[in-house]
Chains A and B, each alone.
Chain A
């Protein structure tokens, strides 16, 4: 157990360094997107007659958080691809880092980054609503960590499936926008045509957004929570299995 924890800590330590999270430049880079989304998109879409509607801003803030979850998945794919391409996973795993520790360490850093981005979103939205926003922040953060774990694990799985690194950008481009906007991130499903509802029903983000919006309102709906938890647990386990590929190198000589 101590080996798993120290392996996770070691992996996380170098992931934090690689992501530049301990420098002001890295922090600004991380904060920029959620701040801009919140400041411009949330403000614009939540405004009616020149004033920001608080309930609409809360709805959209959770949507932006959902977008950040998917966005984080693309970062995970990017980083895991590098780990495979440069055999860094092979190096760490062959040097005694337990696979579980490696997996936990690799998932931990994107999750921490996501939490920071969530705080950025909430701060901006609190500001633009003149601090009138009523959200259950801590439950929301707990909910986001569950959803974030899901997308981290999806990123890990996708990296394991992608055989050619050249296909990575193509896959990310094909997934990112549809995932973000086929779920009710910036609109309500009640207002959209049937075909869009059908597409949204196939998008895991839809269920996560429903869950997060309930949680942000202070309600833990059992069925929603169960669905989101089950999706996350299943994906985390599948993601773990896929890390088996991180160890393998295939060059000859």
Chain B
């Protein structure tokens, strides 16, 4: 997989502050992959993005971008030229891409359509709502069509349909070979689309690697929940032996290896109790993030694989 950008040991400190905002951060972005940048507010996500784009100097470490890679930035705060109309703001993206004349205009209008702003092309940015202004910035980035998308909280203020539409555009661009770095708290939109992720906490990388690897390392067990006719008997609980379980009223929850077969377990329980229902819950990214925060020192090179 082609490496588009690598950052090694980035440390960033803001003037007048003792504590670094970023501490020895490593990051690798690859072509054709969506990379989530996760972390609590103030974790250093925007600062990391700015540093990758050379918009914020690092006091140590280095960022290497593959030759010829164009990076496109969609900021968390509004970056809009209020003296230009909606179309011209997006046209700037197309012109930065090197398009001219009719081609540039078509690219701008196509990007506006993609974010649902085609009907507002003739307006000024001040006439748009907050969510529409966010879409305007996204449209400019889409019109620029970079090799590396650096999107800082792009889903904020967007309605569900627009979020889905944007995610599908990003998926298409990644499939076409672009590298996409997205910071977001909206894991319901981003969660299933991320190939890789970096989790930051207080400026340090808690985890960096594949999303699957993250889940398997921090939440390696699924939960199988049995709803029983009667509370679980002593015999049933003894039969479970060392298997991690929790019984409460008519419900019995058992932790099993993620992705492992549960036929034997179901047979074991069914032989000792009347089973009304069985559900299997896979852990979510939020579960994994919580686990990662709870055990900040647990990550290792092995988890990054």
What is A's interface to B at a CB cutoff of 8 Å? 6, 10, 13-14, 17-20, 82, 86-88, 90-92, 94-97, 247-253
Query: Which residues on the A side are within 8 Å of B14 (C-beta)?
Result: 250, 252
Apart from A94-B73, A247-B54, what 5 extra A-B contacts exist at CB < 8 Å?
A10-B95, A82-B81, A90-B55, A92-B96, A252-B42
Instruction: Specify the chain B residue showing the minimal Cβ separation from A79.
Output: B83
The segment from B43-51, B218-226, B260-268, B271-279 that touches chain A is B43-51
Is the Cβ of A88 less than 8 Å from the Cβ of B76?
A: no
Instruction: Specify the chain B residue showing the minimal Cβ separation from A97.
Output: B96
Is the Cβ of A253 less than 8 Å from the Cβ of B82?
A: no
Please measure, in the bound complex, the distance between the C-alpha atom of A10 and the C-alpha atom of B70, giving whole angstroms.
17
CB neighbors of A among B11-60 (8 A): 14, 21, 41-42, 44-47, 50, 53-57
Query: Which residues on the B side are within 8 Å of A249 (C-beta)?
Result: 50, 55-56, 75
Is the Cβ of B46 less than 8 Å from the Cβ of A91?
A: no
Chain B at the A interface: mostly helix, strand, loop or mixed?
A: loop
Tell me, rounded to whole Å, the shortest Cβ–Cβ distance linking B133 to chain A: 12
Please measure, in the bound complex, the distance between the C-alpha atom of A10 and the C-alpha atom of B96, giving whole angstroms.
8
Interface centre among A88, A247, A249 (most CB of B within 10 A): A249
Q: Closest 10 interchain pairs by CB?
A: A253-B46, A18-B83, A95-B96, A94-B53, A87-B79, A249-B55, A90-B55, A91-B79, A10-B95, A94-B73
Is the Cβ of A19 less than 8 Å from the Cβ of B83?
A: yes
Checking A6, A14, A86, A250 against B92 with a beta-carbon cut-off of 8 angstroms, the contacting residue is A14
Please measure, in the bound complex, the distance between the C-alpha atom of A97 and the C-alpha atom of B56, giving whole angstroms.
17
Query: Which residues on the A side are within 8 Å of B45 (C-beta)?
Result: 253
Is the Cβ of B78 less than 8 Å from the Cβ of A86?
A: yes
Tell me, rounded to whole Å, the shortest Cβ–Cβ distance linking A172 to chain B: 18
Checking B73, B98, B153 against A91 with a beta-carbon cut-off of 8 angstroms, the contacting residue is B73
Given contacts A18-B81, A253-B41, contact A248 B96 (CB under 8 A): no
Instruction: Specify the chain B residue showing the minimal Cβ separation from A247.
Output: B55
CB neighbors of A among B111-160 (8 A): 144, 146, 152-153
Query: Which residues on the B side are within 8 Å of A86 (C-beta)?
Result: 78-82
Tell me, yes or no, whether B71 is within 8 Å of chain A by CB. yes
Query: Which residues on the B side are within 8 Å of A19 (C-beta)?
Result: 83
Is the Cβ of A252 less than 8 Å from the Cβ of B47?
A: yes
Checking A14, A17, A20, A250 against B56 with a beta-carbon cut-off of 8 angstroms, the contacting residue is A250
Is the Cβ of B57 less than 8 Å from the Cβ of A248?
A: yes
Query: Which residues on the B side are within 8 Å of A95 (C-beta)?
Result: 70-73, 96, 144, 146
Is the Cβ of B88 less than 8 Å from the Cβ of A17?
A: yes
Checking B54, B75, B92 against A87 with a beta-carbon cut-off of 8 angstroms, the contacting residue is B75
Digitize B67-101: 1 where CB-to-A-CB distance is under 8 Å, 0 elsewhere. 00011110111111111100010001001101000
Please measure, in the bound complex, the distance between the C-alpha atom of A15 and the C-alpha atom of B79, giving whole angstroms.
16
Interface centre among A10, A18, A90, A253 (most CB of B within 10 A): A253
Query: Which residues on the B side are within 8 Å of A17 (C-beta)?
Result: 83-84, 88
Checking A18, A92, A253 against B84 with a beta-carbon cut-off of 8 angstroms, the contacting residue is A18
Tell me, rounded to whole Å, the shortest Cβ–Cβ distance linking B100 to chain A: 10
Is the Cβ of B83 less than 8 Å from the Cβ of A251?
A: no
Instruction: Specify the chain A residue showing the minimal Cβ separation from B80.
Output: A86
Please measure, in the bound complex, the distance between the C-alpha atom of A17 and the C-alpha atom of B108, giving whole angstroms.
16
Tell me, rounded to whole Å, the shortest Cβ–Cβ distance linking B14 to chain A: 7
Instruction: Specify the chain A residue showing the minimal Cβ separation from B153.
Output: A253
Query: Which residues on the A side are within 8 Å of B98 (C-beta)?
Result: 6
Query: Which residues on the A side are within 8 Å of B77 (C-beta)?
Result: 87, 251
Is the Cβ of B46 less than 8 Å from the Cβ of A251?
A: yes
Query: Which residues on the A side are within 8 Å of B96 (C-beta)?
Result: 10, 92, 95-97
Query: Which residues on the A side are within 8 Å of B153 (C-beta)?
Result: 253
Instruction: Specify the chain A residue showing the minimal Cβ separation from B46.
Output: A253
Is the Cβ of A88 less than 8 Å from the Cβ of B81?
A: yes
Tell me, rounded to whole Å, the shortest Cβ–Cβ distance linking B56 to chain A: 6
Query: Which residues on the A side are within 8 Å of B79 (C-beta)?
Result: 86-88, 90-91
Give 8 CB contacts A-B under 8 Å: A86-B79, A86-B82, A90-B73, A91-B73, A95-B72, A248-B57, A252-B21, A252-B44
Please measure, in the bound complex, the distance between the C-alpha atom of A57 and the C-alpha atom of B239, giving whole angstroms.
108
Query: Which residues on the A side are within 8 Å of B80 (C-beta)?
Result: 86
Instruction: Specify the chain B residue showing the minimal Cβ separation from A91.
Output: B79
Please measure, in the bound complex, the distance between the C-alpha atom of A90 and the C-alpha atom of B137, giving whole angstroms.
14
Please measure, in the bound complex, the distance between the C-alpha atom of A169 and the C-alpha atom of B201, giving whole angstroms.
40
Please measure, in the bound complex, the distance between the C-alpha atom of A88 and the C-alpha atom of B304, giving whole angstroms.
36
Tell me, rounded to whole Å, the shortest Cβ–Cβ distance linking B108 to chain A: 13
